[in-house]
Chain A
Amino acid sequence: MRVIGRDLVAGQNSLGAATQISVGQHAEAVHDRGGYIQEDLLLLDRKLLLTAALRGDSSSANGHPNAVYLYPKAGASYRFVAPAPNIDDLKLRIAYGETGNQPLYGQRFIGLSVAQNVNGNPAIGVTGVAGDPDIRPERAREIEAGTDLLLLGGRAIVELNLYQRTITGLLLQRAIAPSTGFTTQFFNGGVLRNRGIELSVEGTPVQYGNLFWQTQVGFAKNVSKITSLPVPAYNYLDFGTVYGVHRIEQGQSATQIVGNDGLKPDGTCCLIHKLGDSEPDFTMHFANRIAWGGFMLFFLVDWQSGSSVVNITRNLYDSGQNAVDQVPAGYNRLAQNLFTARPYVESATFVKLREVSLSYELPPSALSGIGNVAKRVRFKVSGRNLLTFTPYSGMDPEVSNFGNDPIDRNIDLAPFPPSRSVWTSVEVGFY
């Protein structure tokens, strides 16, 4: 339930002081049923683990509420204990699993809007969004293989993971021909394949006296591809190919960004080509923890390489003739924008000092000086988003105009950027 009041009497902040009040109420109810059966076997001197399970779900959010959808999974892992010098433990694992992601409430209905009226007379009509009465959960099949290594008496850990996740019956809100009276429709369609690799190396390079340095490096790369799409390729309803939009197209990355790119041969606007991808080529992170006596320094560095952002905020500055480089670059961008979106599709590569904290814990001797009332006292200064190194011209390359959407990210139209924050704290423990 929400209430919006417009044209408030000056200085008032009560809804009762509004000239125009609109009330929205939205109700949701979903009935789910599920059951599962699982069996685990630990065999061969606790070295071999076998798991198998079967899950069944049904939900009123599906087009057929009484249908049961079954999801099996199975996995195996085997541990080698001290298989070679300096290798303490080696684990090989492989797993296969299916999961379902059920539609949201209401995606099966074609409802009529009741929000409008004409001079107080109620009006109903289509909303532009059509549901699918046969909608069902999307099904993800994931096969994952990996290895975990424990080295040098526990001073180093290596984890490697390879996966392929194939989602069939992908739940999408596709754009349909508006001449049907609707602009989008929820439906199950297409197959999305994600392949990726994750590598993590954790080690303690320095452990000398009371000096201790622990570091962890992570690397991840994911490649997505729409391997099948039963409907014509369509664009997300972002802000038009004049700036760049996401496009769902068979054989292409699920997160590709397309935009205007030159005039058509007949001189009209515009050829549309792929100009970027919101998925990075890879991401890495470096986490470090250095302790010395009561001091502890932690810092986390994130690196993203090769993602793209549609920077409409920059166009706002340009068209408002207010860009820092308005003459001549801003005007040039506007002139080019008549036939290409390239000036506003930018690289989102960055290196960020994501988090830093420095803390100091009082030694027990200092605590006795205050009568041992407190058991622990720690002073801490920490900060987030302190430094960003990026060629991106906007506030922050990590933007999403449409919230936490898996595909429709990296559209920058004057959003609230991630904030930089610095915290100081004193922690006192009494037991």
Chain B
Amino acid sequence: MTTKHIHLALTGSFFLAACNFDVGDLNRPGLDQVLAAPTPAAVAALATGLVAGERADIASRIGYVSELGILGRESLVLSGSDDRFVTEMLNGISLDPSTPNFGGNFWVNEYANLRNANLLLDALPNVNGLTDPEKESIRGFAKTMMALDFLKVINTHDVNGAPIDVDLPIGQLAPIVSKDAVFARIALLLDQAQGHLLAASAAFPFPLGNGFTSFNTPALFLLVNRAVAGRVAVYRGQFDSALTALMGSFLDTTAPLSLGVYHSFGNGSGDTQNNLNTTDILVHPSIVTDAETLASPPSGCSGLACLDRRVQAKVVAVTPVTLYGETSGYGFIMYPNTDSPVPIIRNEELILLRAEAYIGQGNVSAAATDINFIRTTSGGLASRTDLNASNILDELLKQKRYSLLFEGGHRWIDARRYGKLGTLPIDQPGQRVQTAFPIPQQEVNARGG
């Protein structure tokens, strides 16, 4: 066969003379730049970012206050758009590690904030324009916030443990360690933070926001650090060091019980709102039925008006809602607005923590004094004169239940610590009290499990 036609086409173009035509990130500061050459403003924004991260999963239906409230039978979420607040959290055989907003919760935000805190700590040595005492103040603040993040993780995951040495390059994984090891790390961070705050400048070089108004200098923030240390020591059953820490905190029976530090929220653009004021968040009915009557109830009172002042201040009757077999006719009025603050730790808890530490030491009379102080001052109830070694723990847990109602899962955490989850009410046959959140499925998968 002969070739009759040959078409030949040749096209080509040649690369322009090599010049660097790189394009950087036009939208955001890069992690590496912040780490290598941080400015005082970037460091301040990172520190404020820790405040933002701390509140990130607090104040919504799927947040810490709401979900731990459900597990501890403080609250209910009866929502037509999502049944898992009942089907998984109350009816579930166990919490499901693969639902990010339920069984897989309280992990992602906490570890993101820990990454931020480690980034801040790693960047601090490289920043020009801050004095060493100012850097110490930031270290003290950051490590206290890290302790709070780890505390949220271990309060929710308990015996399942958690990784702690997470300041690693992306892709490297810290081993999951036991609950005791996590608590030891929390205590260590708090003590290190104490040292940093003692060596710190007079003022923080960044604004802490409205939640820290009463404790916005390193010297005052040290009182907060010791308050958290007191809570952690009580959780660890180390009652002597708990009392020492509480002595260095802002515990004060002459100060308002509300004195403390708060997660603050706001309506400004870019701020986070408190979304706990929705009609599908309801009060578990046992809160009302278990409440005591006032020492001197108003004459002719009925219903809530006769009860514990704390219940009156936090709970209101609403049109009863029944869904998935759960019924409640009470709503919360503690967070009426989208900028209502949520306590991180406050004076009333510290007094109760002190009572708990006294109980742990076997000092019933000192504990009874603090418990009766809360009963009368906060609850408007009569003092109890019958408290003794066998009934004082239950009385303490009851006061904690009402004083710290719907503020961050205290009832669930406290009942678990004393093996008393079985005393929480079961509303329907087959329900159970979940004991801990599982390690999230995504974490398990990434570890090859």
Contacts and interface: CB of A to CB of B under 8 A. Distances in A.
Interface of A: 19-23, 25-31, 33-46, 56, 60, 65-66, 68, 105-106, 109-128, 130, 175-183, 185, 231-235, 237, 239-242, 245, 260, 263, 267-270, 272, 316, 318-322, 334, 337-339
A177 B444 CA distance: 8
Nearest to A58: B15
Contact of B93 (A112, A183, A339): A339
Nearest to B97: A269
B168 interface: yes
B171 A235 contact: no
B28 A112 contact: yes
Contacts of A43: 3, 5-6
A373 to B, nearest CB: 48
Interface stretch (B46-54, B193-201, B232-240, B245-253): B46-54
A316 B119 CA distance: 41
Given A179-B173, A240-B98, A40 B8 contact: yes
B21 A112 contact: no
Contact of A60 (B5, B8, B22): B22
Contacts of B11: 36-38
Interface string B19-38: 01111111111111010000
Contacts of B31: 110-112, 126
Nearest to B273: A20
Contacts of B8: 39-41
A176 B170 contact: yes
11 contacts: A35-B14, A38-B10, A122-B48, A123-B49, A128-B112, A180-B173, A182-B170, A233-B445, A240-B98, A269-B92, A269-B95
Main secondary structure of the interface of B (DSSP, over half): loop
A20 B27 contact: no
Nearest to B264: A119
Given A56-B15, A118-B264, A181-B116, A267 B443 contact: no
A56 B29 CA distance: 32
A111 B10 contact: no
B269 A35 contact: no
Contacts of A42: 5-7
A240 B105 CA distance: 12
A175 B45 contact: no
A230 B34 CA distance: 30
Given A176-B171, A320-B80, A117 B271 contact: yes
A125 B28 contact: no
3 tightest A-B CB contacts, nearest first? A181-B115, A111-B28, A319-B83
A175 B442 CA distance: 7
B203 interface: no
A354 B265 CA distance: 51
B12 A36 contact: yes
B45 to A, nearest CB: 4
Contacts of A127: 28
Contacts, number: 279
A248 to B, nearest CB: 10
B13 A27 contact: no
A121 B98 contact: no
Contacts of B298: none
Interface in B138-165: 162-163
Contacts of B274: none
B301 interface: no
Nearest to A30: B23
A65 B166 contact: no
A231 to B, nearest CB: 8
Given A41-B8, A241-B98, A267-B94, A125 B30 contact: no
A113 B170 CA distance: 17
A242 B99 contact: yes
Given A117-B48, A118-B271, 18 more contacts: A29-B23, A40-B7, A41-B7, A42-B6, A111-B29, A116-B271, A122-B44, A125-B112, A177-B447, A178-B111, A178-B112, A179-B162, A182-B170, A235-B98, A239-B99, A242-B99, A267-B94, A337-B87
A56 B24 CA distance: 23
B248 to A, nearest CB: 27
A46 to B, nearest CB: 6
Contact of B6 (A41, A56, A319): A41
A116 B49 contact: yes
A90 to B, nearest CB: 17
A151 B4 CA distance: 27
Given A20-B267, A125-B112, A27 B441 contact: no
A263 B166 contact: no
A334 B93 CA distance: 14
B259 to A, nearest CB: 19
A319 B267 contact: no
Nearest to B114: A181
Contact of A115 (B6, B13, B50, B270): B270
B368 to A, nearest CB: 41
B115 A180 contact: yes
Interface in B261-299: 264, 266-272
B9 interface: yes
A40 B8 CA distance: 6
Contact of A183 (B12, B44, B108, B272): B108
A114 B29 CA distance: 8
Given A124-B46, A125-B46, A110 B23 contact: no
A177 B442 contact: yes
B299 to A, nearest CB: 44
Contact of A106 (B13, B25, B49): B25
A338 B13 contact: no
B263 to A, nearest CB: 10
B96 A234 contact: no
Nearest to A125: B49
Interface string B85-112: 0011001111111111001100110011
A113 B438 contact: no
Counting chain B CB atoms within 10 Å of each CB, which of A114, A126, A316 scores highest? A126
A240 to B, nearest CB: 4
B174 interface: yes
Contact of A44 (B1, B32, B42, B168): B1
Nearest to B28: A111
B210 interface: yes
Given A180-B111, A316-B81, A33 B32 contact: no
